[in-house]
């Protein structure tokens, strides 16, 4: 269901105007029935001030049945492509609009649609206008009541936001439920679900004594996979009370898991709707990282109840107000419950890899964008992940106590309102007294700042200087850049690894330096020996750092840095250096050579008996090829792949017999989802990969054995991944076995689809096409599609970028089909085709041809139009 009438016009942040009318309440009535669902919306309207302007309501793809004003049929309206304009309305009135919808035909999964047999909704950002004509903007806060009527045997559960206030049988096999949400809310938080489910029930008593019923709705037969989600929900509720002092505010909290969903989950008030991927888990079906994902997303949506729902966004340009802040909160939640170091590493991987790539591409935008064509295109890594880094910098600059004071002031001022990012920063500034003047530029400036640091040591005077300069290269959206306020967290070490106190002329200096100018020098005295600096500790700002470290200095930091993140980061820098040198050598027909310092440093990590195995696994896992590509102006895809593999093999040889010993030492008794065991499994997986690089023959046996004896999905999948990435003899047999076992279970089969898509061999596209014919595969299901296609297009660099362009052609053909089916998902999958800045001219030309093919497509959806046209402007 795509209508091709959507306007391609851009909207600008600066054009914000307060609404001309307010809507104080809306009563919705849904008659769910085949073929068409009937929706009656009764809104109480109030003109905002004195004017004669008409009321312009938003609507997309709706069939209008009737309009009444104060109960009387009304005809003074005009229907546009995506609007309904009503003239000469009284200053206050009751508007009744009846629309007809066809949810079963809605494959875009926005508005009211069917996921399997159940009805469900997705309204953020602008999906409510696909249900009824409305002022579909987040600054319209209304009280909702929702009455749902449907067949009782097919749809025993009828759910919406707030509290259930009435229900009953209607005699004809149909029943109804009436819901009332006491909290005024924007339309994007509206939700409705109707279906038949199994329900996992529990409850939580808040610190002030409110007893909250907790209900998780899953497809029939999946109850044995709902327990961990419930545990995560309870942990989230407790954590938000303890760390932020925030309590839940309704008597019921519901989560519904559905199979057809465009993103991870949605924070609708009191009724979250989740992609089943982020709810369902048991040891047989879910990996450790699936468990982490569930905990994170359950937390994220729960935390939105305050940061997003109680205080929401004035307009969609302010999206990071709720998303950056809520990602920060979910990261802190995961870090407080699990390993802070490992969480930080994984978050930084996302920023340095895909977020930096976004900055370097045609969709570059500030965390608070200035211009948008399709809002769904701005649920980006920049708004979310960089947005969270900006909140984290505030936290670093203010400290926990002042940051929490800022949060309290923010809620005191703005609870129940729709506000802006400026309002948030103002609250932080007022509560802390810290001048955030220059810091505000992080909201308006796009791109990745680069810090260049040099140092200078004078042995005679004991003075050490750090010269720091900052520069943000131009981005496609913004040629001019200004200096930013960058917190630079540092530490200095002497030769033994002892910390050198930071001071100057008798005054102590904190670890976080305030970089405000384009160039600044920081001076320290009483430094007895030339120190090794640890810079940008914990990734204290989302920037690229340039400092001319020697291999020895990095090896030293890998061993001595006090902070887990800094040790990992030093290892990354050491590998990056080796990759840059290796690629140059390979391009000159030479082989890769690694320094003894590097090899010894990595061996020492494997040998380190004190180190958390989870951190070991992170240090030993080499950066991915896409992240490595970011190190180059022009990335030589094939050389990067070759060099990375050779580094992996050389490390495997340096580790030698330690690998088998380590592997054996990591065997565990029965599976448990606890950090200590997850850490060991992670390391075991990485070690198995090195064993395969060392000796494919014996690894084949080991992999078969691990696959055959695993009592959990993590070990099973680790075996399959190694078989796949090293093309071990057992690969096809094990993959076939796995496919046979899980053929009917989409979520588990996604693992198989990912393996197929990432096969490092020339025939991968044939296997991908065969997998598309699998009975469980459907291009209508975003999870299936992403598993197969994103693994090919984003994680199989050499094959996707094959020089004959077949990868590009395949993806474009698919996007053309998806443009009709689900433009939002198409718009996510196009990413590797628009980020071509670092490719060579030959590949760029091939990609342009495909993008031009898309640009000329009749009925190109707005989502793709925005990205394709920007990409072609590059
Ligand atoms: N707020 C939703 C995302 C909606 C995406 C709309 N295309 C989930 C989240 O960030 O929590
Ligand atoms: Zn969110």
CATH of the domain at 334: 1.10.390.10
Q: Which residues of the chain have a pLDDT value below 50?
A: 1-5
Could you tell me the two tokens for 847?
């990609």
Residue 831 alpha carbon to ligand 2 centre in Å: 21
Same domain, 390 and 480: no
The atom of ligand 1 lying closest to the CA of 323 is 10
Same domain, 816 and 864: yes
Do residues 304 and 326 touch, judged by C-beta distance below 8 A? yes
Tell me which residue range forms the domain holding 41: 11-195
Residue 580 forms part of a structural domain? no
Q: What is the pLDDT of residue 3?
A: 43
Same domain, 719 and 803: yes
- Site to substitute for ligand 1 among 265, 381, 383, most atoms within 8 A of C-beta: 265
- Site to substitute for ligand 1 among 323, 861, 862, most atoms within 8 A of C-beta: 323
CA–CA dist 110, 190 (Å, integer):
12
The atom of ligand 1 lying closest to the CA of 384 is 10
Alpha-helix runs per DSSP H in 415-550: 421-432, 441-444
Same domain, 488 and 544: yes
Could you tell me the two tokens for 195?
């279906």
The atom of ligand 1 lying closest to the CA of 308 is 1
- Ligand closest to 324 (CA) is 2
What is the phi/psi pair of residue 57, to 5°?
-95, 150
Same domain, 439 and 463: no
Same domain, 862 and 770: yes
The atom of ligand 1 lying closest to the CA of 376 is 7
Residue where one domain finishes, among candidates 421, 443, 465: 443
Pocket flag, ligand 1, residue 150 (CB < 6 Å): no
What is the 3-class SS of 394-450, one letter each residue? HHHHHHHHHHHHHHHHHHHHHCCCEECHHHHHHHHHHHHCCCCCHHHHHHHCCCCCE
Residue where one domain finishes, among candidates 195, 218, 234: 195
Ligand 1: residue whose CA is nearest its atom 10: 323
User: Active-site residues: which are they?
Assistant: 301
Residue where one domain finishes, among candidates 160, 195, 230: 195
Ligand 1: residue whose CA is nearest its atom 2: 266
3-state secondary structure at position 377: helix
861: closest CA among 822, 833, 829? Answer: 822
Pocket flag, ligand 1, residue 312 (CB < 6 Å): no
The total domain count for the chain is 4
Same domain, 177 and 122: yes
What CATH number does residue 716 fall under? 1.25.50.10
Residue 265 forms part of a structural domain? no
Same domain, 350 and 483: no
Residue 462 forms part of a structural domain? yes
Q: What is the pLDDT of residue 213?
A: 98
- Ligand closest to 822 (CA) is 1
Residue 491 forms part of a structural domain? yes
- Ligand closest to 326 (CA) is 2
Residue 647 forms part of a structural domain? yes
Alpha-carbon Rg for the chain, nearest whole angstrom, is: 28
Residue 782 alpha carbon to ligand 2 centre in Å: 19
Instruction: Evaluate if pTM is beyond 0.95.
Output: yes
* CB neighbourhood size of 589 (10 A): 6
Residue 201 alpha carbon to ligand 1 centre in Å: 25
Q: How many helices (H) and strands (E) does the chain have?
A: 30, 35
| CB crowding 539-575: b at 16 or more within 10 Å, else e | bbbbbbbebebebebbbbbbebbebbbbbbbbbbbbb
Describe the strand order of the beta sheet including 55-58 as a list of residue ranges: 55-58, 83-86, 77-79
* CB neighbourhood size of 454 (10 A): 13
Residue 592 forms part of a structural domain? no
The atom of ligand 1 lying closest to the CA of 125 is 6
Q: What is the pLDDT of residue 4?
A: 46
CA distances from 557 to 76, 497, 758, 802 (A): 73, 8, 34, 38
Same domain, 642 and 709: yes
Pocket flag, ligand 1, residue 258 (CB < 6 Å): no
Same domain, 696 and 804: yes
CA–CA dist 295, 301 (Å, integer):
10
Same domain, 643 and 740: yes
Could you tell me the two tokens for 144?
């909702």
What CATH number does residue 464 fall under? 2.60.40.1840
Same domain, 437 and 466: no
- Ligand closest to 388 (CA) is 2
Pocket flag, ligand 1, residue 266 (CB < 6 Å): yes
Residue 268 forms part of a structural domain? no
Q: What is the pLDDT of residue 790?
A: 98
Residue 217 forms part of a structural domain? no
What CATH number does residue 71 fall under? 2.60.40.1730
Pocket flag, ligand 1, residue 323 (CB < 6 Å): yes
């Amino acid at each position: 269901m795509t209508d091709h009438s959507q306007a391609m016009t851009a909207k600008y942040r600066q054009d914000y105007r307060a609404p001309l009318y307010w809507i104080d309440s809306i009563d919705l009535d849904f008659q769910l029935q085949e073929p068409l669902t009937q929706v009656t919306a009764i809104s109480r309207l109030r003109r905002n001030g004195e004017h004669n302007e008409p009321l312009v309501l938003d609507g997309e793809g709706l069939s209008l049945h009737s309009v009444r004003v104060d109960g009387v049929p009304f005809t003074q309206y005009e229907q546009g492509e995506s609007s309904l304009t009503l003239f000469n309305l009284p200053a206050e009135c009751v508007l009744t609009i009846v629309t007809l919808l066809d949810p079963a035909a809605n494959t875009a999964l926005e508005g009211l649609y069917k996921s399997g047999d159940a009805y469900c909704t997705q309204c953020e950002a602008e999906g409510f206008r696909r249900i009824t004509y409305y002022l579909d903007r987040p600054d319209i806060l209304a009280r909702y009541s929702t009455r749902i009527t449907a067949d009782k045997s097919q749809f025993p559960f009828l759910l919406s936001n707030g509290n259930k206030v009435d229900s009953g049988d209607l005699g004809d096999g149909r029943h109804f439920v009436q819901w009332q949400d006491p909290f005024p809310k924007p339309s994007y938080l509206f939700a409705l679900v109707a279906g038949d489910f199994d329900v996992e029930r529990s409850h939580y008593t808040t610190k002030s004594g409110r007893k909250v019923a907790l209900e998780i709705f899953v497809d029939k037969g999946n109850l044995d996979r709902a327990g961990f989600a419930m545990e995560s929900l309870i942990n989230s509720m407790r954590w938000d009370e303890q760390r932020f002092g925030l309590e839940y505010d309704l008597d019921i909290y519901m989560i519904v898991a559905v199979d057809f969903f465009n993103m991870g989950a949605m924070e609708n008030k009191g009724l979250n709707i989740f992609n089943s991927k982020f709810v369902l888990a048991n040891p047989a079906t879910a990996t450790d990282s699936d468990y982490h994902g569930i905990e994170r997303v359950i937390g994220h949506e729960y935390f939105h109840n305050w940061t997003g729902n109680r205080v929401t966004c004035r307009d969609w340009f302010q999206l990071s107000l709720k998303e950056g802040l809520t990602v920060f909160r979910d990261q802190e939640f995961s870090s407080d419950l699990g390993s802070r170091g490992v969480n930080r590493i994984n978050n930084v991987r996302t920023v340095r890899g895909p977020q930096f790539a976004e900055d370097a591409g045609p969709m570059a935008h500030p965390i608070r964008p200035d211009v948008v064509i399709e809002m769904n295109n701005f649920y980006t890594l920049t708004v979310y992940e960089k947005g969270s880094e900006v909140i984290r910098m505030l936290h670093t600059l203010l400290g926990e106590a002042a940051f929490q004071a800022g949060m309290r002031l923010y809620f005191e001022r703005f609870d129940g309102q729709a506000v802006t990012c400026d309002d948030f920063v103002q609250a932080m500034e007022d509560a802390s007294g810290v001048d955030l003047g220059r810091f505000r530029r992080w909201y308006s400036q796009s791109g990745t700042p680069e810090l260049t640091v040099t140092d200078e040591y004078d042995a005679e005077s004991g003075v050490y200087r750090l010269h720091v300069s900052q520069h943000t290269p131009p981005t496609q959206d913004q040629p001019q850049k200004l200096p930013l306020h960058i917190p630079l967290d540092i530490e200095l070490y002497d030769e033994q690894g002892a910390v050198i106190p930071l001071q100057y002329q008798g005054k102590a200096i904190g670890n976080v330096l305030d970089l405000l100018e384009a160039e600044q020098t920081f001076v320290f005295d009483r430094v007895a020996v030339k120190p090794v600096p640890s810079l940008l500790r914990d990734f204290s700002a989302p920037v690229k750092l340039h400092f001319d470290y020697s291999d020895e200095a990095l090896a030293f930091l890998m061993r001595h840095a006090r902070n887990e993140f800094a040790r990992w980061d030093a290892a990354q820098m050491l590998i990056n250096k080796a990759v840059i040198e290796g690629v140059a050598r390979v391009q000159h027909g030479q082989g890769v050579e690694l320094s003894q310092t590097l090899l010894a440093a990595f061996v020492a990590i494997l040998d380190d008996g004190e180190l958390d195995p989870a951190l070991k696994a992170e240090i030993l896992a080499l950066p991915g090829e896409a992240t490595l590509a970011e190190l180059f102006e022009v990335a030589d895809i094939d050389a990067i792949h070759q060099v990375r593999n050779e580094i992996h093999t050389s490390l495997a040889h340096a580790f030698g017999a330690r690998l088998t010993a380590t592997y054996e030492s990591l065997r565990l008794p029965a599976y448990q989802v606890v950090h200590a065991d997850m850490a060991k499994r992670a390391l075991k997986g990485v070690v198995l990969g090195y064993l395969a690089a060392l000796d494919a023959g014996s690894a084949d046996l080991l992999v078969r054995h691990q696959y055959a004896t695993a009592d959990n999905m993590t070990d099973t999948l680790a075996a399959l991944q190694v078989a796949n990435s090293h093309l071990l003899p057992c690969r096809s047999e094990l993959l076939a076995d796995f496919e046979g076992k899980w053929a009917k279970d989409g979520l588990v089969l996604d693992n198989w689809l990912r393996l197929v898509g990432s096969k490092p061999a020339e025939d991968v596209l044939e296997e991908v096409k065969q997998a598309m014919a699998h009975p469980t595969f459907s291009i209508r299901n975003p999870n299936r599609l992403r598993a197969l296609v994103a693994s090919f297009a984003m994680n199989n660099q050499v094959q996707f970028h094959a020089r004959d362009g077949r990868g590009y052609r395949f993806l474009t053909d698919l996007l053309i089909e998806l443009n009709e089916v689900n433009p939002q998902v198409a718009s996510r999958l196009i990413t590797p085709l628009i980020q071509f800045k670092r490719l060579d001219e030959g590949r760029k030309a091939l990609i342009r041809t495909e993008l031009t093919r898309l640009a000329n497509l009749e009925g190109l959806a707005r989502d793709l139009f925005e990205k394709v046209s920007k990409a072609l402007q590059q």
